[in-house]
Chain A
Amino acid sequence: MIQARNVVKTFDGFCALKGTTLHVKKGCVYGLVGPNGAGKTTLIRHLTGVYKQDAGEVYIDGEPIWENPAMKQKIAYIPDDVFYFQGASTEDMCKFYRGIYKNFDIELFHRLEEYFPKIDRKKKLRSLSKGMQKQVAFWLSIACKPEILILDEPVDGLDPVMRKQVWSILMKEVADRNVTVLVSSHNLRELEDVCDHVGIMSEGSIILERSLADMQENTIKIQMAFEGEVPDLSDIQDILHMSHSGRVYTIIARGNQAGITAKIEAKKPLFYDLLSLTLEEIFIYELGGADYEVKDICL
């Protein structure tokens, strides 16, 4: 549904996207994660047709998105910082969206009002708080009945209740209409609950792109202790992280769970334990390999 192939973008000599490749399947909820400055927003702006890539291709539903209003009709985009016209109310914006998006469903818009009870439709949007403006953005976007929702830091500024509310509306859309969602966020715990695919971005490239289940299955955390000296673990490939506290060693490794377990058992540890990783841990340890690890700070 969404495809970016070898996208390159340079700003005044700084390469923001270095041949980025991304693929989001139809009906999938794709979480785009990465550290600050990784190029997530830049990539999203290419996917929504705001920026034109220097090289590479960006396709939506098999067609280039740049200057393609027919494809843009299928997309609703909520940026991290939403914009409304000067002096416009929710009703004014609704009229504007109705004139632009062919699938805009005014009945759905009215039905959704009950989910956003604190918003006065006639009040000027710029007088509302950032969180309430975000709620209006969701309201309008859902009413457009898009096939693709692209969200950049969507719940940033929303209170916990409204966050849950928004996610539940989104998930209902995915379930009912098979909407494809690409969401960029730093709130990995929330993403873990909603995403089925994740792409980790670092320094202008997608360094890891997999289904969340695959990712959690293929990255394991093992705690173990040995009698005497720790044996050579070099036969366990793709160790992302290793630390020890006394005689208890912790390793994070990428690979087949059964294979890694067999190798550890062969070294006869006093004990060992397999633990599942959260998305946040995977993010931290994967990026540790990309020189972005959490440093111990001594002040």
Chain B
Amino acid sequence: MKSKISVFSLTLCKRNIKVNLMGTLVYLAMMIYVGPVSYYFQVRGQSADISSQELTALKRWALVSWNMSGQMWLIAAFAVLTALVSFYYLFDKRANQMLHAMPFTRTQMFITNYVSGLFMQLLVLFISAGVMEAVVNDSMYANAVMKIYGISAIATVFFYSLSVLLCMICGVVYLPPVLFMVANLLYVVYKGVFNMIASALIYGYNKEVTLYASDYLDISNAWSPLVYLSTVNYFNGDEQGKLYTFPMGYKVLWYLFFAVLLTVFTWFVYKRRPAERCGDFLTKPWLNVAVSVICTLGISMGLMMAILDVEVNKYVIRRMGIANVCFVLMITFLVYLLLSMIIGRSKDIMRKRIMIPAVVMTVVCCVGFAVIQVDALGISKKVPEKNEIKGCYISTDFTGNKPLKNNVDETLEIHKRMIKEQKNIENQRPEIGVNIVIQYHLKNGKTLERTYVVPYEAAELENPDSLTYLVDNKLNNFEKYCGHLYNRKPYEAILHLSKFVDENGNYKEVELDAKGVKKALIKDVKAGALRMDYPEWGLEKTVNWPEKERFCSEDYIELKFASIDTEAEELYGNLSGYSTGIWNYSSEEDLNIKKEEVLQFYLNKKCKNLLKYLEQSGVKNSEINYQVIQ
């Protein structure tokens, strides 16, 4: 009969606190630095000469700009470190032997070390939160600060539980940190690499690769806890100083639930952890297979991604497809054998235990790649039914790739035409292409997105049956994208004349009456003299324009409107290069001061109304620098 004994050893706890003390003090110093100290220098240090309203705004921005990602990585790093220090004896043969021969149960050792390690970390957060509340000293933000530290505490419990579990399954001290990173980044890395491979191989499929999730709205990133937790407690604020926390923040509570499950599982694992495995990579032979498979898959996918990255052109990728797949599969098989040798510390790989998983994994990889290669799931042909669609958005190069709401029927027509012309598009290697992204927001809450590149060449534009003609006709439309400016009052119009350059190389600026310019512009747009244009299609490309007699100028007019469109902010930064037509963009000097939208357009000889208006305003036609197209 076993004697009853406490599950907590005070002596062991004191010992653990002592060995963790130095690390904990460093951790506390860093947490105080990234939290209260950083905040203090942003806000309190400047508070002497500013009004209370400005101080509120400063506080808000200091909290909004809090480096949560950095704090989360710090929490994760110290969770791993504390776990390693608390359970260091699992990696030292002599310590392992001595402590397990002492009068402790494994339950007692686990609970004591786990609790004391966690206590030290939570103590740091508790002190940091207290100091932060004292520094902020504002009841308006007390709740926000508590939320930040509450989420940090949950993250601490989760990361620490995960780290302790990894300590249990590893036999060498350097492996838990490596596996911690693998466990935290596995999902986003695999998702990113899969999307990249699928985007290269499947027609129309194109998803952005986000190895580090800026797409915090994607709940699936929760499978990569460090990434998700780095973005989940996102704050935003309004100008009255009120803070909004990201609504999905409450889902973080699930991590607490999983942390409890992990802890119970870890205790179970520790009770069965063979002491003799100390010094081996992993404490159970089947874990060698699991880790080898995960690492091999990562390496294979990375290799495939590298190949596809080199073969940028889909034309090449499609023709190299089978050769690529065979190469990757061969490498997959060999990498698995190599990893098995390293992890198992044995050259003897011709064993069933190694060969069977190697073959199974290679076959699974083969099937996986084949499914993507031949688009067995029919992803490229998928078009939603009209009754499933809640809304459609199309973004093109014409609009600076800004998604703009579009008619459902028209979108479906374009999309179906794209699918119909798959072979034509894939077989062409056009010099100029227009990127088109179609996005459906479906009634079931999902989003379907497809990306195509349509050839944009003169011959195609002249052919009314061509896809290019259809796209140009439907999507290159000034009124559709800039129509909202018709009802708005411009406050400034400036003509930039390139014939007159000052000593600094700036064009001469002529101020015009904004109202008059707008009136003439609308007339010219309606007459077809000006159109939205493709920014990469610079002046040197205009030779392809079907209207041979067209003359473009280097001179342009900027027509400025006070912005009421908050979405226009997103356009900022999209302007680049020359335009032969009209380009719509906005700029803002400061988020708090002024917003404006600027319509920028180059003149050409067909702009009769504008030219007439310029004459009336005192700008002679001869002063305009036309480029004559041969």
Do A and B bind? Answer: yes
Interface, chain A (partner B; CB < 8 A): 11-12, 45, 48-52, 63, 67-70, 72-73, 75, 77, 79, 81-83, 85-86, 96, 99-101
> What per-residue 1/0 map shows which CB atoms of B1-36 lie under 8 Å from chain A?
111010001111011000100000000000000000
A72 and B94 contacting across the interface, CB-CB below 8 Å: no
| B105 in the interface (beta carbon within 8 A) | yes
Stretch of B71-79, B95-103, B292-300, B442-450 on the interface side? B95-103
> Chain A residues near B105 (CB, 8 Å)?
67, 69
Nearest Cβ in chain B — how far from A257, in angstroms? 42
A250 CA to B185 CA, complexed, in Å = 74
Identify 29 residue pairs between A and B in the complex whose beta-carbon atoms are under 8 Å apart, listed by A's number.
A11-B276, A45-B97, A48-B101, A50-B97, A67-B2, A67-B105, A67-B106, A67-B271, A68-B2, A69-B3, A69-B5, A69-B108, A70-B2, A70-B5, A72-B101, A72-B103, A73-B103, A77-B101, A79-B94, A82-B98, A83-B92, A85-B15, A96-B15, A99-B9, A99-B14, A100-B9, A100-B11, A100-B104, A101-B103
- A86 to B19, Cβ gap below 8 A? yes
**Residue of A45, A75, A79, A100 with highest tally of chain B CB at under 10 A:** A100
- Given A83-B92, A100-B102, 17 other A-B contacts at CB below 8 A? A12-B285, A45-B275, A49-B100, A50-B96, A50-B275, A51-B275, A52-B275, A72-B104, A73-B103, A77-B98, A79-B94, A82-B98, A83-B98, A96-B15, A99-B11, A100-B12, A100-B104
* Residues of the A chain whose Cβ atoms lie less than 8 Å from the Cβ of B100: 49-50
With a CB–CB cut-off of 8 A, which chain A residues contact B247? none
For chain B, residues 103 to 124, give those with C-beta under 8 angstroms from any C-beta of chain A: 103-106, 108
Residues of B within 8 A of A12 (CB): 285
Q: Is B130 an interface residue (CB 8 A)?
A: no
Q: Which of B2, B10, B276 contacts A99, CB < 8 Å?
A: B10
Cβ contact within 8 Å between A68 and B94: no
Check B101 against A75 for contact (C-beta < 8 Å): yes
In the complex, chain A residues whose CB is within 8 Å of the CB of B276:
11, 45, 51
A50 to B, closest residue via Cβ: B100
**Residues of B within 8 Å of A, CB-based: how many?**
30
Cβ–Cβ < 8 Å partners of A69 in chain B: 3, 5, 103-105, 108
A67 to B97, CA, bound (A): 14
**How many A-B Cβ pairs are below 8 Å?**
73
Give bound CA distance, A104 to B14, whole Å. 18
Bound together, the chains give a CA A101 to CA B103 distance in angstroms of 8
Residues on the A chain within 8 Å of B516, using CB: none
**Minimum distance in angstroms from A74 CB to a CB of chain B:** 9
Give Cα A99 to B11, complex, Å. 5
Contact A70–B3 (Cβ < 8 Å): yes
Chain B residues near A99 (CB, 8 Å)? 9-11, 14
Contact yes or no, B98 A79, CB < 8 A: yes
Q: Is B274 an interface residue (CB 8 A)?
A: yes
A63 and B274 form a contact (CB under 8 A): no
Contacts of B19 in A (CB 8 A): 85-86
**CB–CB B11/A50 < 8 A:** no
Contact across chains for B274 and A52 when beta carbons are under 8 A apart: yes
Per-residue interface assignment for chain B, residues 241 to 278, with 1 indicating a CB less than 8 Å from any chain A CB and 0 otherwise: 00000000000000000000000000000010011100
- What distance in Å separates the Cβ of B8 from its nearest Cβ neighbour in chain A? 12
**Would you give the shortest CB distance from A279 to chain B, in whole angstroms?**
28
Task: Report the bound CA distance from A69 to B109 in whole Å.
Answer: 11
Residue of chain B at shortest CB distance from A42: B276
CB contact list, B536-552 vs A, under 8 A = none
**A59 → chain B closest CB, angstroms:** 12
A140 to chain B, nearest CB (A): 11
Q: Are B95 and A83 in contact (CB under 8 A)?
A: yes
Task: State A67–B273 Cα separation when bound (angstroms).
Answer: 13
Given A69-B103, A70-B103, A100-B9, A83–B94 Cβ distance below 8 Å? yes
Residues of A within 8 A of B5 (CB): 69-70
Shortest Cβ distance from residue B421 to the other chain A in the assembled complex, whole angstroms: 61
Distance between A120 CB and nearest chain B CB, rounded to angstroms: 21
Q: Could you tell me if B94 and A81 are in contact, using CB atoms closer than 8 angstroms?
A: yes
Q: Looking at the assembled complex, report how far the CB atom of B101 sits from the nearest CB atom of chain A, in whole angstroms.
A: 4
Q: Is the CB of A96 within 8 A of B106?
A: no
- Chain A residue nearest in CB terms to B344: A12
Q: Nearest Cβ in chain A — how far from B362, in angstroms? A: 25
- Pairwise interchain contact A82-B2, C-beta atoms closer than 8 A: no
> Nearest-CB distance from B55 to chain A (Å)?
49
Nearest CB of chain B from residue A126's CB, rounded to whole Å: 11
Q: How far is the CB of B404 from chain A (nearest CB, A)?
A: 64
Q: Which residues of A contact B11 (CB under 8 A)?
A: 96, 99-100
The answer on a CB contact under 8 Å between B101 and A100 is no
Q: Which of B416-448 contact A (CB under 8 A)?
A: none
Known: A50-B275, A69-B108. A100 touches B97 (CB 8 A): no
**Nearest CB in chain A: distance from B224 CB, A:** 34
Asked if A49 meets B9 with Cβ closer than 8 Å, knowing A67-B106, A85-B15, A86-B19, the reply is: no
